[in-house]
Amino acid sequence: MFMSSSRSLRTRAGVLALLLQSTQTSAQSGLLSCANVDCPILDNTAISNCSVAGASYSVIGLTSIQSLSGSNLEWTIAVNQSKTGNNSLINRAFYLGVESSNFFESQGQSACSFFFTTLDDGPLFYDSMTPVSTDCTSRDGTGFSSQCISDLKSQANNLATSDTSICNSIAQTLQDDPPSSCSLASGTKVVAVPLTGSLGPEPISAAENETSNCWPTLPKTNQLLPVWTASIYTSIDNDTTIRSGAGTTPVMTIFFAEGNNEKSSAELVCLRPVDLNEKSVETMDDGTSEAQGMHVVSYWLVVLGLTFSATLVLL
């Protein structure tokens, strides 16, 4: 780690406190974190270590949506990073928590998920200095106005059928011909992943879960579907590394009834990881202590190994 003295640590903690302010706000307005699902914490640190089916994550974010039948489902984003030399690989994994392994079949529903990303599958925007929530309309200048979101949902619903092979076609239309009320950034890509049918994800099995020490969904009785993982390569001394890890991905989920009933519904939430866990919450009261300094140095600088100068440039 790059922390060489307690004085340096406290200085960096003071500058980086702004980064955590937005994270705390998001956790209070729809996005939950490791603090809510009891992620294990690495010894002598305030860094989470949530291992799921062989993958370990240091930061997560989760929120609930409603299916066509009114049942709650839970979207989770989990982020990890590895580095080789001057290169960094950010993995942004998206999981869906459902009541049972045959949830959609038992409800007589089909479903598609759509991820709004940059061309390299990265988060569509990064807003560390602005209080955020799962409501995409809170992002100024991103094109996701209330009218845009309403029109996107209507467009998707009008295209939906019970055949999930149409997921890619819906994504292509949303990407190439979005509603006129939307002013999405140039290069916005829409990635489609079926949630049902032969191409839908299977729940994590007991065998796959043998090494897990964490179950990042609520309630914990949920089955966890590994839906999609975006892998983004960046230069480790570039602020793109922070943006790729901490940024926001809008996720739309479309549910439609199988058979002759053409009823459908769409949910759109903005997902980003939230850098909170039980340890950081415990030490958040007093900003003068060494413990406070240790946890306030954001995950995105400690784990990603970025330099303090890069942080100052970003701020």
pLDDT computed for residue 136 by the predictor: 85
Taking the alpha carbons of 296, 300, 305, 306 in that order, is the dihedral positive or negative?
Answer: negative
The reported pTM is 0.81
pLDDT computed for residue 279 by the predictor: 78
pLDDT digits over 53-108, tens only?
999 999 999 999 999 889 999 999 999 998 877 788 999 999 999 999 999 999 98
The three-class DSSP label of residue 115 is: strand
pLDDT computed for residue 280 by the predictor: 75
Domain that holds residue 56: 49-273
Residue 309 has pLDDT above 60, yes or no: no
59 in a domain, yes or no?
yes
Most confident of 119-133, 203-217, 235-249: 203-217
119 in a domain, yes or no?
yes
DSSP-assigned letters across all residues of 242-282: HHHHH-BEEEEEEEEESTT---EEEEEEEE--B---HHHHH
pLDDT computed for residue 138 by the predictor: 64
Alpha-carbon gap, residue 197 to 303, rounded angstroms: 38
39 in a domain, yes or no?
no
Could you give the C-alpha distances from 190 to 249, 259, 277, 284, 303, in angstroms and in order?
Answer: 11, 27, 31, 38, 29
78 in a domain, yes or no?
yes
pLDDT computed for residue 210 by the predictor: 86
296 in a domain, yes or no?
no
Please check whether residue 223 is in contact with residue 96, taking contact to mean a CB–CB distance below 8 angstroms. no
Alpha-carbon gap, residue 225 to 93, rounded angstroms: 11
Residue 266 has pLDDT above 90, yes or no: yes
| Helical residues (DSSP H) of 119-253, grouped into ranges | 146-159, 167-176, 240-246
Taking the alpha carbons of 8, 9, 12, 13 in that order, is the dihedral positive or negative?
Answer: negative
Mean pLDDT over each residue of the chain, to the nearest integer:
78
DSSP-assigned letters across all residues of 77-94: EEEEEEEETTEEEEEEEE
194 in a domain, yes or no?
yes
235 in a domain, yes or no?
yes
Burial profile 123-155: b = 16 or more Cβ within 10 angstroms, e = fewer: bbbbbbeeebbbebbbbeebbbbeebbebbbeb
Which of 223, 237, 187 minimizes the C-alpha distance to 86?
A: 237
Alpha-carbon gap, residue 271 to 246, rounded angstroms: 10
pLDDT computed for residue 143 by the predictor: 79
172 in a domain, yes or no?
yes
Residue 178 has pLDDT above 70, yes or no: yes
pLDDT digits over 99-153, tens only?
999 999 999 899 999 999 999 999 998 876 655 578 887 665 677 889 999 999 9
Alpha-carbon gap, residue 294 to 43, rounded angstroms: 13
Which of 250, 36, 265, 33 minimizes the C-alpha distance to 135?
A: 250
Question: How many domains would you assign to the chain?
Answer: 1
User: Which DSSP state fits 9?
Assistant: H
Q: Which two tokens stand for residue 187?
A: 């290069």
Q: Report the share of the chain in percent with pLDDT over 90.
A: 49
